[in-house]
Amino acid sequence: MNKAEILVIDDEAAIRKLLEITLQSNDFAVTHASTAKEGIVVAANHPPDLIILDLGLPDESGHSVLVQLREWFTNPIIILSAISDEEDIVKALDNGANDYLIKPFRTGELLARIRSALRGSINADNMPLIKCGSLQIDLLSRVVKKNDEIVKLTVTEYNLLSLFAKNEGKVLTHQYLLKEVWGPGYINQSQYLRVFIAQLRKKIEADANRPEIIVTESGIGYRFVVKE
């Protein structure tokens, strides 16, 4: 089986070296770039399976790089940045980042996020049947089952759940979910989202008060987690 290839775009030599050692020791192939321009060129010439992108690059904002990459690059992008401002996190996620980790970071957590992002990108393309513990989502027949019994969902509930399932492991912001499920005119109607998330959790979670499938990312949005 070929190794998944990861491109690291970061101007800190120490971070690049740490990531190279960590990723290679976990059976990933690694390339790297220290500037925005170099990163875009490397990604274009040899598209990787996943990109780790820093926002604080010396020649151009990482936000700008993200937007440029998302014009053609469809594989996962994880932001790894010292910027912890909520506005920057939401902006990056809304612009197409799959995930966002703040420096300093734990390598174990980064590896878990990488595996989740890679697994999610495979699921979206090749797995119309998604299983999460006792929950089963058939994206072709639009049938949802829990413990082998059909779960009755409204059209909106199903559209919301299928959007999560297609983006397994990815943080989806409030604004993104509202726009995709309800339309652009609803991006500020967060009460819609809270109500339907609560309804979905009652139907698919083992304990709606302690959700393990639709997990809250405080102040940002939600993440759909497939239990191993």
Q: Model confidence over 14-68: pLDDT tens digits?
A: 999 999 999 999 999 999 999 999 999 999 999 999 999 999 999 999 999 999 9
Residues 150, 48 within the same domain: no
Residues 90, 175 within the same domain: no
Among candidate residues 105, 122, 139, the one where a domain is terminated: 122
Residues 105, 140 within the same domain: no
Residues 138, 101 within the same domain: no
Domain range for residue 169? Answer: 128-224
Question: Beta-strand (E) ranges in the chain?
Answer: 5-9, 29-33, 50-53, 77-81, 99-102, 129-132, 135-138, 143-146, 149-150, 171-173, 214-217, 221-224
Residues 49, 98 within the same domain: yes
pLDDT of residue 12: 94
**Model confidence pLDDT, tens digit, residues 125-135:** 555 788 888 89
Q: What is the signed CA dihedral for 2, 100, 90, 33, rounded to 10 degrees?
A: -70
Among candidate residues 84, 107, 122, the one where a domain is terminated: 122
Among candidate residues 122, 149, 168, the one where a domain is terminated: 122
* Dist CA 136 CA 151 (whole Å): 10
Residues 86, 182 within the same domain: no
Given its phi and psi angles, is residue 61 left (phi above 0), alpha (psi -120 to 50 degrees) or beta?
beta
Q: How many domains does the chain have?
A: 2
Residues 10, 106 within the same domain: yes
Residues 137, 118 within the same domain: no
Q: Do the beta carbons of residue 98 and residue 122 sit within 8 Å?
A: no
**Domain with 70 in it: what CATH number?**
3.40.50.2300
**Domain with 146 in it: what CATH number?**
1.10.10.10
Question: Which stretches in the chain have pLDDT values below 50?
Answer: 1
DSSP-based three-state secondary structure for 21 = helix
